[in-house]
Amino acid sequence: MIKAKILELRSALFFTESASLVQLPTHVVSETEIDEKGDIWFVIPKPVQHIDAFDKEIPAKLDFSKKGLSFFVKVTGTAYLITGQAEMENAAGLSAEMQEKMKDARSLAIRISIQDADLIDNTPKPTKNWIHSTSMQLSSWFF
Which tens digits make up the pLDDT trace of 39-91?
999 999 988 777 777 788 899 999 998 888 888 999 999 999 887 776 776 67
- At 121, which CATH number? 2.30.110.10
What does pTM read for this prediction?
A: 0.77
| DSSP of 17-56 | ---SSS-PPPEEE---EE-TTS-EEEEEEPPSS-GGGS-S
The DSSP element (H or E) to which 85 belongs, if any, is helix 85-89
Angstrom distance (rounded) from CA 127 to CA 86? 55
Range of the domain at 9: 2-142
Residue type, 131: I
Length of the chain: 143
Question: For the residues 84-102, what does the mean pLDDT come to?
Answer: 76
DSSP 8-state secondary structure symbol assigned to residue 3 = H
Question: Is the predicted pLDDT of residue 125 greater than 70, yes or no?
Answer: no
Angstrom distance (rounded) from CA 74 to CA 63? 5
Mean pLDDT, the chain, rounded, equals 82
**The pLDDT value given to residue 127:** 61
pLDDT above 90: percentage of residues in the chain: 24
Question: For the residues 17-29, what does the mean pLDDT come to?
Answer: 81
**The pLDDT value given to residue 13:** 93
**The pLDDT value given to residue 112:** 93
113 pLDDT tier (thresholds 50, 70, 90):
very high
The total domain count for the chain is 1
